Amino acid sequence: MGRLDCSRYEECFRRLSASYEVVAELERAFRSEHTNFDELARVIEKDPALTAEILKVVNSPYYGFPRKISSVAHGVVLLGMVNIRIIVLTVSFFKSHPRLTPLWAHSQWVSYLAKELLKRLLKTSMRQSPLLLAIDPTTLATAGILHDVGKIPRFLCPETELPEDHGEVGFLIAHCFDFPEELSTAIAYHHRPWEARTEVALVSILYFANEIVNQREISEENLSRGAAYLGLSTEELKGVIKATQDMFQKYLENLRCRKR
């Protein structure tokens, strides 16, 4: 999408993340082969909100550790890099404005269904598609969380002139926060994976997950395109998408029944 000038949007992106410098530093650390848990903890401790959220998560009933965890260093080791990265991005972006709660819920579903699609496609494929095997599930899950990050600035800095396409805004955010290329590409092209020059298989799965959550009908053309990008037959892809759609609908029906 061309060369981008981050300084032009710095004031807006500082509002987007209370920890602009910390998030960028952590993203670099996550991508380094030499980063260890102690270094991550030291960076996280620079930000009180991130520190509080990580201690809150690690002490939640979900993990059920027998003793209270009181240090970030211990929490980072117990949660692992994948969970820490998602917590960092969640706190930085989606908790910056109360009106972002529906967007956060949507993003969680897209992340979950993207992982579910990948798992089902790998099981269903009559031959092991190298394109599917090359997809990193962690990157796919993170892309699901962040795919709509380009929608957030309109809540926080509506006076800033930004591109109309939220995919393009998301790409700008990813670039300015120094995200890896595969995440930047996924965010930019999640509505049109056929335009991506790299990571087309990953972006295609993200596209289908987003369409399922939005309950949109997927055209035959896009199913055929997606099958080619994933190294599958169209029928294989159709079967997996239908099964995933049915699973999602059952969840929504159960949710509606509980609310009655």
Is the pLDDT at 214 greater than 90? The verdict is: yes
Within 10 angstroms of residue 238's Cβ, the number of other Cβ atoms is 17
pLDDT at residue 242, as a whole number: 96
| Range among 54-68, 94-108, 216-230 with highest mean pLDDT value | 216-230
| Range among 32-36, 79-83, 242-246 with highest mean pLDDT value | 242-246
The identity of residue 167, as a single letter, is G
pLDDT-derived band at 1, boundaries 50, 70, 90:
low
Tokens 């591109």 correspond to what residue? Answer: 163
Burial of residue 155 (CB within 10 Å: 0-12, 13-18, 19+) is middle
Cα–Cα distance for residue pair 195/185, rounded to 1 Å: 10
Cα–Cα distance for residue pair 209/201, rounded to 1 Å: 13
Domains and CATH numbers, the chain: 12-96 (no CATH), 99-260 (1.10.3210.10)
Residue 121, token pair as written in the block: 């496609």
pLDDT in tens, 84-121: 888 888 888 887 677 888 998 999 999 999 999 999 99
Cα–Cα distance for residue pair 104/109, rounded to 1 Å: 9
Enclosing H/E stretch for 220: helix 220-230
Which of 236, 222, 229, 237 minimizes the C-alpha distance to 201? 229
Which of 191, 200, 144 minimizes the C-alpha distance to 167? 191
Q: Are 172 and 4 in contact (CB under 8 A)?
A: yes
Residue 155, token pair as written in the block: 């809540």
pLDDT-derived band at 170, boundaries 50, 70, 90:
very high
pLDDT in tens, 133-155: 999 888 898 899 999 999 999 88
E strand segments, 47-138: none
Q: Are 55 and 41 in contact (CB under 8 A)?
A: no
Residue 24, token pair as written in the block: 């960028």
pTM above 0.85, yes or no: no
φ and ψ at residue 66, rounded to 5 degrees: -65, -30
Is the pLDDT at 176 greater than 90? The verdict is: no
